[in-house]
Structure 1
Amino acid sequence: MRTLPLFTITTLTLTAAPALAAENLTIVETVIDRPTVVTLGVQVLIGDDDDRDAAIELRYRAMGEAAWQVGAPLYRVRPEVVNLQVPQQFAGSVFDLRPDTTYELELHAVDPDGLDETWTVTATTRPVPGDPAAPKVIPVSDAGELGDALGAAQPGDVIELADGTYGGTWSIESSGTADDPIVVRGASTGGTILDGEGAGGNVVEVYGSHVHIERLTIRSANRAIRFQTAGAEGNVVRRVHIEDVNLGIGAREDQLDFYICDNTLVGPLAWPNVYSDDGGVNANVDGIVVQGFGHVVCHNEMVGWGDAIKTAQDGARAIDIYGNITRSAYDNAIELDGSTGNTRAMRNLLLNSYSPLSFQPIFGGPAYALRNVVVNVKDEQTKLHANSDTGETVGAVILHNTFVSPSRANQVQTTDTAHDFRLLNNLYVTRAEPEGGQTVLFSAPSAHAEIDYNGYWPDGQFEFEGVGDYPDFAAMQAAGVFEAHGTLLGDDIFASGYVAPASYMPVVEEVDVSLSQSSLAVDAGAPLTGFGGFLGAAPDLGALEAGCAAPHYGPRPENVDETAPAPACGDSGGENVGRGDVGRRRRRRVPTPAAVRPATVRRAVAIPQAAPIRRAATRARPRPRPPVTARPAGTRRAPRPAMARAIRARPPVRTARARVVAAARPRARRRRCCWSCSHSPVAGGDERTCMSSPCSVSSPAPCPRRTTRSSTVRSSTSRCSRSPSAPPPARATAGSPSPTPRS
């Protein structure tokens, strides 16, 4: 197998317990993936832990800052079912970082079999690509001058094209450097045109590294741009308009650290032409293709492509795809196929897609789909399929997405097993009468799947291959396999009143799927530390937290980039304090299993491409790991054991007590009333008696004191009211006939 280009982290001596048996986790090596502009990925290579009861938590802070931020716990990879050479490991990403900033990452590994170990590594995010440090401006105004300038290009050259049409095809053989790239830039995107005049190849071919192509229109050929050299590094396409081509931007294997952002690509296909119409003949009419590691594809606008944005190399890692808007995709809007881990599709707007998010396959993961808005899906929302050549998918992490589809709310149709995936805090909405009466048709067999805290509308059949076919949501939930904490929504979901289209064929141009303040999706999610903040008692379901501004999708205004990120909204659910920060204001903590803080923290040094230095097998005193305990009666329901590790939200320094902290900040149109309910059997169901009181002294508004009503749902305990005068609503129980399952 080819060795993947990674940065390894050389750690100094650590205090650790010796492995007592194969059940005790052994830390082998810490690896930092290639950094991107706003994200860092980490792998902790391990041995043993055959009983899989170990966990690794993560905190981070910018170098020199006192306060720690709590990141997402690392994800345990299952390489034994991967058809690619992947080591045993924990892996994960740290999101929403600042460009060109060095961070400390503190890792805390605990195994009840005897290991408790903490260590620190450092890593630096990439800067946003900029102009040369020593620019040499070369003005050109016709095709001859452009050809001469490209042929003689040297590091630091800024080749500035006057407005006009430049006919022909162009090749750039030279390379710039990281500090002094070669820049090819038009006077204006609309006015400076490279016209391929119908060429059967590429309008622009780039053979070097650190070449920037900016502010141009490229048109009239088979493909607009191709980066032709395997292993090329640091190339940029920015503020380019591409049209009248069959293919957009192409790549070669093992390329590194590209930045393809703020472009508009118009492809040759038209909605509603989709994959199932013609057997996929246009599936490889690709918009943006990247191969290799460390790429950023952001804030592009895509329309008319087979696959709009895709990874195309098995083993790819550390790729960010964010802020894009895809307006039509004949097949996949975003394709993470073949990636090994720490590939991330986040905060994209995906409209009019056959199967918008593809994981066919993932080689271990985690491959993230986070806070994407997905509207008008023809087929499957998330394609958890195998590849006939490379095996089944393993390690998709699908969190906080909003899916609105005209056929079914969630559909996966394959006979291949999907392994070790997570569907949490998503919002699945379809039309009032879903196809075949099926709200969910999940025909893929699943292994080690975690499906919980999702919201659905409407009620209907819920079919899960190998698990059960349930007539309605209540029956599915009562079975106790999936959605122990899921929510059946009412029809008041979106503030705009938007409903799922009756058919996929009309083009959806614009859509507002921000939540209604009275939606049952509000505050219904699990607190997942490290994946964005929330405002209320718990995260809202779906991509958009009520009360927070929606992300910007598509090209950004001139001179706006990641150096000026949008302000964060809400509470991340963890604490941002370090040891000794007594008296500092603390963020709200979400209840999690308690952990014991190790006594020592050692620092590590990042050395790119260095051979690993293994930790010393020094004996340390085993530390106890407190058990997971349920919350007191009358508070929000505790996560089931399978969820505990996924929503661990505080670092090892935390104490063992569990508590509920109401939000002190005001929130429009929400009353902070805390409810506790009891149940007693009555004819035809049970009777629920609820008492309310203000959640905290900062919420002094009067609350209704007592209400009683009957329902036919199982007993439950709700925490906060949805309106000023009523306790939490009961879940609906409507059912629908069971059609014959599709093959």
Structure 2
Amino acid sequence: MISRICLTKGICHILVTLSFLMCSSFVMAENKSSSVGEVFKEIPTLHCLGVRWKIMGDQNKNAVIKVHYRKGKEKWLEAMPLFRTMPSPHGSNRSKLHTVPGGWMFAGSIFNLTPDTEYEVKLNLEDPDGGKAEKTMKMKTWTEPLEPKGMKKIYVVPGAGGGEGTKGAPFLGIVAAMASAKPGTLLILKAGKYSAFGSRASGQEGKPIIIRGSAKGETIIDGGGKSCVDIYNKKHIWFESLDFRNAKYGINGNLASNIIIRRCTFRKVVCGFNSEKGGYNRSRRHFIVDNEYTGSTKWPRSKGIEAICFVQATGGGHVIAYNRIQNAGDGVHGKFYQKTEGWNIFLLKLI
């Protein structure tokens, strides 16, 4: 009887030990990190490069992804390690974009880079529980868009139709001028007041449609309480030295990409530039610099934040810099129901 009891206890002890070892091995396997697929590269901006990397395992959250970068064969420089995004921190659809079943999404950026420069970027996954990986890749920063050579000039003065677009016989009104605008067209507007307009055509990479106001006096686009400009689903259209007034939207650009807004002013406009629909794959690389926006919000607030804003947009790769924003409910913001990543926002003067 004693031997049977001892034997039974021994078997139970062995089974418990095996069970413990199996559970320990399972836990160790879950804690061990492993990389999944290639590194996703965000759309580069002037001064930043961003990446995302899916990592499996690491249930105890002690893995680290270190980041180094360099130009050419220069010495490696250390950047901030990638950030571990939390899966589903709240109930909106936006939070689910970075959910990795059984793992984690790591993401981060390298800052203060030189425009139009190629960098070598190195990522090192390190986990005390085991699992190492290294990824090295080439990435290049964006360059400020400048007027291409060989643009066809069209001249425009205030009016209600007619004209030929030449310097001696300019188009009378912006609507008539836009009807003839094609990729590679530069519209030069004389100072004065113009009505709201849209664009039938998009520009192209290296051949934008540029709408430029006068350097002498104000070139006013009056929205009549609606939109000054509607460029739905258009690409590569530039706005320079224009005054947008009296509108819900200064420029309404849903689903638009590669829109440039430079040295413009916005007054009595609820939203300066709207591009809230489109998301990451449709709305890319807006360049919004050296502008002035004056809203009607009074501070300090006694109630909630108003909709009055300079920019509301979604998508990726946008640069918003050197803008003066006054009396806005919110200067620049995205939308929770569309993907918004990889923006470069800096040197905004908020008043």
Q: Give the TM-score normalised by the residue count of structure 1.
A: 0.39
Does the C-alpha gap of structure 1 residues 186 and 50 become closer, same or farther in structure 2, counting only changes over 3 Å?
same
Report the Cα distance in structure 1 between the residues aligned to 2:235 and 2:322, rounded to whole angstroms: 22
How does 1:270-281 map onto structure 2 within 5 Å? 270-272=298-300, 274=301, 277=302, 279-280=303-304
Q: Does 1:169 align with 2:196?
A: yes
SS at match of 1:52: coil
Question: Structure 1 residue 107: deviation in Å?
Answer: 0.8
Q: Distance in 2 between matches of 1:313 and 1:236?
A: 24
Q: Which amino acid aligns with 2:135?
A: W
How far 1:176 moved relative to its partner? 0.7
SS in 2 for 1:60: strand
The one of 181, 190, 212 aligned to 1:153: 181
Once the 2 structures are TM-superposed, how far is the Cα of residue 80 of structure 1 from its aligned partner?
Answer: 4.9
Whole-Å separation in 2 of the counterparts to 1:224 and 1:81: 35
Shift in alpha-carbon separation, 1:189–1:76, aligned structure 2, 3 A: farther
Distance 1:269 1:81, change over 3 A: closer
On the 8 A contact 2:312/2:334 being kept in 1, the answer is: yes
SS at match of 1:288: strand
Aligned-partner SS, 1:149: helix
Whole-angstrom distance in 2 between the partners of 1:151 and 1:302: 33
Uncovered stretches (5+) of structure 2, i.e. residues with no partner: 1-26, 162-170
- Aligned pairs for 1:690-705 (under 5 A) are none
Deviation at 1:271, TM superposition (A): 2.9
Give matches, 1:625-704, under 5 Å: none
SS in 2 for 1:147: helix
Check if 1:210 corresponds to 2:239.
Answer: no
State the partner residue of 1:24: 32
2 CA distance for matches of 1:221 and 1:299?
Answer: 23
Residue number in structure 2 paired with 1:311:
334
Whether 1:242 aligns to 2:258 is: no
Contact 2:33 2:132 in 1 (8 A): no
CA distance in 1, matches of 2:29, 2:294: 58
Moved over 6 A (4+): none
List gaps (5 residues or longer) in structure 1: 1-18, 328-743
How far did 1:104 drift?
Answer: 1.1
Q: Deviations over 1:184-226 (max 9, x none)?
A: 0112285222233xx1310111131010001111112233211
Amino acid at match of 1:252: E
1:151-171 deviation line (CA, Å, top 9, x unaligned): 2211111111122222x1111
In the alignment, is the contact (CA less than 8 A) between 1:133 and 1:156 conserved in 2? no
**Which of 44, 49, 59 is equivalent to 1:35?**
44
1:291 alignment partner in structure 2? 314
The alignment status of 1:121 with 2:137, answered yes or no, reads yes
* Structure ranking higher in strand proportion: 2
Q: In structure 2, what is the equivalent of residue 75 of structure 1?
A: 83
1:179 equivalent in structure 2:
206
Q: CA–CA distance in 1 between the matches of 2:52 and 2:225?
A: 43
Note the 1:314-393 alignment, pairs <5 A.
Answer: 314=337, 315-327=339-351
User: Following the alignment from structure 1 to structure 2, what is the Cα–Cα distance between the partners of residues 189 and 82?
Assistant: 51
Equivalent in the alignment of 1:225: 251
2:275 & 2:135 partners in 1: Cα distance?
38
Indicate if the aligned counterparts of 2:34 and 2:133 stay in contact, CA closer than 8 A. no
Q: Which has the larger radius of gyration?
A: 2
Return the alpha-carbon distance in structure 2 between the equivalents of residues 127 and 218 of structure 1: 27
Note the 1:193-208 alignment, pairs <5 A.
193-196=220-223, 199-207=224-232, 208=234
Name which of 26, 49, 61 aligns with 1:52: 61
User: Which residue of the partner structure matches residue 719 of structure 1?
Assistant: none
Aligned length: 298
Question: SS in structure 2 opposite 1:256?
Answer: coil
Kept in 2: contact 1:133–1:179 (CA 8 A) = no
Where does 1:427-438 land on structure 2 (aligned, <5 Å)?
none
**C-alpha offsets along residues 592-621 of structure 1, whole Å, 9 cap, x if unaligned?**
xxxxxxxxxxxxxxxxxxxxxxxxxxxxxx
1:264–1:251 Cα change, 3 Å? same
Q: Specify whether residues 57 and 262 from structure 1 end up closer, same or farther in structure 2 by C-alpha distance, changes over 3 A only.
A: same
SS at match of 2:30: coil
1:192 counterpart letter in structure 2 = T
SS at match of 1:265: strand
Q: CA deviation at 1:45?
A: 0.7
CA RMSD, 1 decimal: 1.9
3-state DSSP of counterpart to 1:247: strand
* Cα gap change, 1:80 to 1:220, in 2 (>3 Å): closer
